[in-house]
Structure 1
Amino acid sequence: MHATPSDDTTHRRIRATVHGAVQGVGFRWATAEHATEIGASGWVRNQTDGTVLAEIEGSLEQVDDMIDFLHRGSQFARVDNIDIEELTPDGSAGFTIH
């Protein structure tokens, strides 16, 4: 039987809300750049409340790497906290900035 994205335990998809000084500091660009470098998929966007929202999908290692990156942020960002919600992987490809 072939694994589908919803029953594949080797892949993970998360929604991360990043709090802190994360807008106007290159955070979305750096996130997209890092995701592309490691082969993770998803998207990132600014929210009206000053947070950054990202959905990230990939192997367990890729998603863990991206969570570590989100905690560091871009050079001028200050990350205070990240809320993470587990989602069902959907097999999406590529990473975009909204």
Structure 2
Amino acid sequence: MSDTPDITRLKASHGDWIGPEELHDILAEEGYSAGTREQYLKSILTELSKIESDPADNREKREALMREVRNILSQEQGKQGQTPLSDDV
């Protein structure tokens, strides 16, 4: 896995951000181990948070995608007995 994830898979063919269901599909397809999956999700979250030029409707979808990534990370960390992800990530 590279340091910067390929977030182009998080965009639908029409240019909008994918939804939470599609994110789960991508994660299932990739077959990451628990530790690698957590790092991948953190990298996605970092890259999504750097984007500033989304139109308003895309921004809402991106924020929904970011919430889902945070939710998955919290669940993953809870399974491993770690402190849940803080909101400042």
Q: TM-score range by the shorter chain?
A: 0.3 to 0.5
Normalising by structure 1, we get a TM-score of 0.31
- Bigger proportion of residues as strand: 1
